[in-house]
């Protein structure tokens, strides 16, 4: 089967969960299923980087995956947002790539920065479309259902006035509320277009039941949604590592956080909880890009008073696995938003590391409270502090949680399930 993946941005220009997932899925589809696979995305490369007579560049990735980047140069948030209403360069380049690749199926990983007409364009070529819901971008321009004006969970559009308020806040014009009646119709038009896009897809993949239910609750078309859990790549030596007992001494606890350093991830909640722990024997190692949200990171550094807190920065997976296997006692996900399906959970479980996480979004669907992890109310520093203190003082609890971690779903299993869905359409 010939496959084409559409994604809003890609490696090495951007490194994130959707990009890494797309790369991994494409490689496994070539290696495991024998498909011919290509990826198409709007690139920040300047037009001068394009092939002669084209608007895109082409490179061949490992495992034979071809990558097409349409050369647009850097785009600000406003230009990316307006692309939903039309982007001639992207549409023209996609036509050329469709003609060149002749895919049997197009899998949309993310449409941010693409015209809403993209799915209709693919259908016009007689090609079926599958869409994966990696976040909440279809009903929410923020993609996270978190407001820009007060950082709270949003219940969805209310005559799109709250969407307009949110858009103005994101543009730094929160005080210009008089513009709300003019912006609201634009947000409504965006919503109508993207609702039609979802309704037109032959199949929609949701990584969790929670995501499917949120989309349904917001009135988005979910009749063709299939819940397909993510899988991850795990090195062979990690898979073969037995869930052996580590000797946890009372008073010793090494906590790890892996992920984005952004407000909605709730890392400040974790830092404050660790600040209240005894200094002796407690460590918190934070892995994440220190440059992406510099103001927030600066605030975290100022907040961090415990001597055991270490901002370790980004780390490659090949370096992370040995750390998790040898040093991490527990991982914490203190998120404040509706996480879709963080791969961090599966990575920690693959390394036999129990999780402490906020009771929000899809996390309770992935973490069994009191079995392989512990849950606490989002944003509750006191509750998180009590859990961490308990884990520090009761090493037998940590051992019990570790023993009860289930085997991690691997990428091979995920690819097989996605392929079965493809073949239903073929």
Q: Which positions ≥6 away from 353 have C-beta within 8 Å?
A: 256, 324, 328, 329, 330, 331, 402
Task: Please state, in angstroms and rounded to a whole number, the distance separating the CA atoms of residues 338 and 344.
Answer: 15
Residue 196 β-bridge partners? none
- 147: nearest Cα among 170, 173, 166, 175: 166
The pLDDT value recorded for residue 176 is 86
The pLDDT value recorded for residue 245 is 60
Task: Find out whether 313 and 290 touch, Cβ atoms under 8 Å.
Answer: yes
Tokens of 29: 């589809």
Tokens of 20: 């890494």
Task: Please state, in angstroms and rounded to a whole number, the distance separating the CA atoms of residues 335 and 376.
Answer: 11
Output the pTM of the full model: 0.92
* Residue-range domain boundaries for the chain: 2-231+412-425, 236-403
The pLDDT value recorded for residue 244 is 65
Enter the CATH code of domain 236-403.
Answer: 3.40.50.2000
The pLDDT value recorded for residue 316 is 86
Tell me phi and psi for residue 218, to 5 degrees.
Answer: -90, 5
Residues of the chain with pLDDT under 70: 244-248
- 222: nearest Cα among 230, 234, 210: 210
The pLDDT value recorded for residue 310 is 97
The yes/no answer on whether domain 2-231+412-425 falls in CATH 3.40.50.2000 is: yes
In 291-405, where does DSSP find H-type helix? 294-303, 317-326, 343-350, 363-366, 381-393, 395-403
Task: Please state, in angstroms and rounded to a whole number, the distance separating the CA atoms of residues 43 and 123.
Answer: 23
The pLDDT value recorded for residue 247 is 65
The pLDDT value recorded for residue 185 is 95
2-231+412-425 and 236-403 in the same fold:
yes
The pLDDT value recorded for residue 160 is 84
The pLDDT value recorded for residue 30 is 97
The pLDDT value recorded for residue 229 is 95
The pLDDT value recorded for residue 307 is 97
């Amino acid at each position: 089967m010939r496959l084409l993946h559409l994604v809003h941005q890609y490696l090495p220009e951007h490194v994130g969960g959707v990009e890494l997932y797309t790369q991994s899925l494409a490689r496994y589809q070539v290696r495991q299923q024998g498909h011919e696979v290509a990826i198409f995305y709007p690139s920040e490369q300047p037009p001068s980087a394009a092939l002669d007579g084209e608007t895109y560049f082409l490179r061949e990735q490992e495992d034979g995956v071809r990558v097409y980047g349409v050369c647009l140069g850097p785009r600000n948030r406003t230009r990316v947002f307006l692309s939903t209403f039309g982007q001639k360069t992207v549409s023209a380049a996609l036509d050329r790539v469709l003609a060149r690749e002749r895919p049997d199926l197009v899998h949309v990983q993310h449409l941010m920065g693409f015209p809403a007409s993209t799915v209709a364009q693919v259908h016009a070529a007689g090609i079926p479309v599958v869409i994966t819901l990696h976040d909440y971008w279809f009903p929410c321009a923020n993609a996270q259902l978190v407001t820009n004006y007060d950082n709270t969970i949003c219940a969805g559009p209310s005559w799109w006035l709250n969407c307009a308020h949110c858009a103005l806040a994101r543009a730094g014009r929160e005080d210009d509320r008089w513009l709300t009646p003019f912006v609201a119709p634009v947000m409504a038009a965006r919503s109508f277009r993207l609702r039609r896009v979802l309704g037109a897809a032959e199949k929609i993949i949701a990584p969790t039941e929670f995501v499917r239910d949120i989309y349904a609750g917001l009135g988005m078309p979910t009749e063709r949604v299939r819940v397909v859990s993510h899988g991850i790549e795990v090195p062979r030596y990690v898979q073969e590592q037995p869930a052996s007992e580590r000797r946890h001494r009372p008073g010793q606890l090494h906590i790890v956080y892996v992920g984005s350093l952004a407000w909605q991830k709730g890392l400040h909640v974790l830092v404050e909880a660790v600040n209240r722990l005894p200094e002796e024997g407690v460590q918190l190692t934070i892995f994440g890009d220190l440059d992406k949200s510099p103001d927030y990171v600066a605030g975290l550094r100022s907040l961090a008073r415990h001597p055991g807190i270490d901002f370790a920065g980004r780390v490659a997976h090949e370096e992370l696995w040995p750390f998790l296997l040898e040093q991490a006692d527990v991982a914490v996900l203190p998120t404040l938003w509706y996480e879709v399906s963080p791969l961090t959970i599966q990575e920690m479980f693959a390394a036999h590391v129990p999780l402490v996480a906020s009771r929000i979004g899809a996390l309770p669907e992935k973490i069994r409270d009191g079995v392989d992890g512990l849950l606490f109310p989002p944003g509750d520093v006191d509750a998180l502090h009590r859990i961490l203190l308990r884990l520090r003082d009761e090493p037998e609890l940590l051992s019990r949680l570790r023993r009860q971690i289930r085997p991690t779903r691997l990428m091979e299993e995920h690819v097989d399930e996605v392929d079965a869905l493809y073949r239903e359409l073929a």
